[in-house]
Amino acid sequence: MRFLMTTRGSDDMTPPTEAMYAEMAAFIEEMTQAGVLLATGGLDPAGTHISSSAGEITVTDGPFTEAKEAIVSFALIEARSKEEAIELARRFWKVVGDGEGDIQQVFGPED
């Protein structure tokens, strides 16, 4: 089963330390090797917003969300179950520290 883990930005996010980067890198490497982590990355807060209504498509700058609502990074993971995804997320947050995020199952062609 695949899950998308996202983390949100927050006003008082502690800036990452050297040590945290190293731990994070090791964590990512381990998860990638095991095939658990399929893809990961940080998101540029300045993006493009698209809205489509009654056939008309509007393109603007965006997303304009509050800092603590914006999604700042994602990880696509492969896990046996939702519980495993949660456990992996817990380990991730142990490394990162304070913050918030979501886990959503990604449906594939077979679902």
Which two structure tokens, joined as six digits, stand for 41?
Answer: 């990355």
Instruction: Kindly give the pairing relationship between strand 100-106 and strand 37-42.
Output: unpaired
Closest distance of CB 96 from other proteins, Å: 15
Buried b (16+ CB within 10 A) or exposed e, 39-51: eeeeeeeeeeeee
**By CB under 8 A, which span of 15-23, 44-52, 64-72, 83-91 interacts with other proteins?**
83-91
Task: Decide: 3 and 94 in contact? Cβ < 8 Å.
Answer: no
Shortest distance in whole angstroms from residue 29 CB to other proteins = 10
Torsional sign, CA 69, 75, 81, 83: negative
Segment 20 to 79, residues that bind other proteins, using CB under 8 A: 33-35, 38-39, 78
CB 67, min distance to other proteins, A: 29
Q: Per-residue contact track with other proteins, 87 to 106, x per CB under 8 A?
A: x-------------------
| Contact pick of 84, 93, 101, 103 for other proteins (by CB under 8 A) | 84
